[in-house]
Amino acid sequence: MAYEDKTLVCKECGADFVFTAGEQEFYAEKGFTNEPARCRDCRLKRKQRGRTMTEVVCANCGATTQVPFTPSQDRPVYCKECYDAMKVS
């Protein structure tokens, strides 16, 4: 099936946004039947609303950072830079 970009209206902010052909193909592959109702910014804001940030100290460099979860006491927590560096290694 050939997909074409579609312009949709965000039900949250009312802004027009493009539902790209690539996104439509992805939705179809995942079996999603509904088009997105919100623009990317509103989806991200909505996702962030439910998250509680926890301040922690990076187990590698000692920097203070925030993470979107409550860490358990038996596992180390890393800042984004240290975590990303460890993923590459």
Q: Are residues 38 and 64 in the same domain?
A: no
Does residue 36 sit within a domain? Answer: yes
pLDDT tens-place string over residues 58-73: 999 999 999 888 888 8
Q: Are residues 27 and 45 in the same domain?
A: yes
CA distance 12 to 8: 12
Structural domain harbouring 22: 6-49
* Per-chain mean pLDDT for the chain: 92
pLDDT tens-place string over residues 2-33: 899 999 999 999 999 999 999 999 999 999 99
Please give the distance of CA 42 from its chain centroid, rounded to a whole number: 11
Count of domains forming the chain: 2
Q: So what's the pLDDT on residue 89?
A: 66
Q: So what's the pLDDT on residue 52?
A: 81
Does residue 10 sit within a domain? Answer: yes
Q: Are residues 45 and 63 in the same domain?
A: no
Q: Are residues 45 and 58 in the same domain?
A: no
pTM for the predicted model, two decimal places: 0.55
Q: Are residues 75 and 58 in the same domain?
A: yes
